[in-house]
Structure 1
Amino acid sequence: MIELHAAGLNKLGYLTGKDSREIDKRRPNKMICAADLKTRREEIQKDRTYDFLAGLDEGFDPVRGDLLRMKPIPGIEQCFNIVRREAQRQATMLGTRNIGEGSSIAMISKTTASSNFRILQATEEAEKDKLHCSHCNGRRHTKDTCFEIHGYPDWFLEK
């Protein structure tokens, strides 16, 4: 288990994807039709909501079930607020959860596939920091993968 600390808007921004998400930058959306873009964004938000709910501790099973039975399933902000209220209720009534000061809240969360991905991604990023290109003197790549030699991929924005 890991301890997930949420502190005000920064955590909410992470959950809603309002901060920069590395995976979104690596795989930009190539859809052109506005309706398709809107549908895809909604799917991504639902996936993030499901990831958040899947990572909650067993103590939140009743709340998770209630949220998943709602039609339509609420957005990540509403789910987060409902879970936070339940954590505060449990802390007040049962004294079982650690509620921080101010807008902070501490919840126990199971390690999910997405958190394992973030750990793997951080390891890969650290390895890339060690790379140096002998062709362009750039960092984080080698001559074998240099875009100046092999051409820029369609997804690369900083040409």
Structure 2
Amino acid sequence: MVTESSSPQIDPSSDPSTPYYVHPSDSQFRIANEKFNGSGFNDWKRSVIISLSSKNKLGFIDGSISKPEINTGLYKCWFRVNSTIISWFIQALDTHIARSILYFDSAQEIWTNLQFGQTTGAQIFSLQQQIAEIQQGTDSISLFYTKIKMLWDELDAASPLPICSCDKCTCQVIRRIHTMQEENRLIQFLMKLRPEFNNVRGNIMIQAPLPTISMAYRLLMQEERHKEVYQANHVTDDASAFLANKRRFLDSSNNAGNNSSWNYNRFSSGNNQIIRSGGSQGNYMRRSNLFCDHCKIKGHTKENCWKIHGYPPDIKDKWKGKRVANMVQEDLNQSSTSIEPNQAAPQFTAEQYSKLMSLLEHNKAETSEKHDNTAFVAGMIAYYLLIMILG
């Protein structure tokens, strides 16, 4: 008969429910994704705590599992787990930091040494300064919220709020301090946003009591998505309207081309112009840097020159008159500069001379009544230009 005192004792290292259990795959386990190099200790510390908690080994660094006596059977189990955690620390630290903790005997001593000197007054001041200077800028709502929340979390780790240790506390002062901190951080977050969120920011700040930071974050995210959808639809509507106007112009040009030999599409595309039909407002043209070698005018090439291929049949007379006058005036200036010293001036025929004299007599009679020489000079210049074109 086997008594209770004589029953074999179960090895805690073989029981997965105990912190002394070590799985064969734990030798490849990593307690942090990035190695600690001296900066960002609070983030690295948080990763280590989460990893050790998942392995039920957190008691080996916070002091809740003390080192047993050497002559007891539990010491071997503790020593194995302690050595495993030390190896995890060495793999999660930068090379020069890992050498500084290499000769510590316990994981608790390593953890205490790493935390010593990490939280200083200078670090707290630096975090407060970064929180005061951070702005949204060109960041999205989610990215900006992530940045400022990381600073808040680091500040909480460096300078945590006090915790009440009373068994029957009725003043709830810690809860009120936490509420004040949340409200201050909400105002910090809202006042650092871009001016385009002024409306939703004002709506949030007039609420009583103020919403939580997470609620305000969701409202701002909805507003940001609304603006993105509106801007996308607005750009699409503008593009559709432009294409519709262009299509109507091309259709009207094709209909006009059915009654004549003029090709609007060839000249509008060849001149590299954007034409927008505007009814009584006329056509708006934006010219490129093309240059015609024939008429010496910018905005088109020789292959699409109206002086060679002819003018559109239904173009407006007012616009055509201004355009032709400009073209003829430029031709006249170029022709006058290109005449050789000994070259003879253009000769008039008898018919042309007769028309010119009759026009001069008519203009002279008008100017004698109006006492204005402008019409007389304008008439001479206009007829002279007409002869130069027709001659």
- Please tell me the TM-score bracket, short chain as reference: 0.3 to 0.5
Which has more helix, going by share of residues? 2
The TM-score, its normalising length taken from structure 1, stands at 0.48
The TM-score, its normalising length taken from structure 2, stands at 0.21
Which has more strand, going by share of residues? 1
Computing the radius of gyration from Cα coordinates, the structure with the larger value is 2
Which of the pair has the greater relative contact order for Cα pairs under 8 Å at 6+ separation? 1
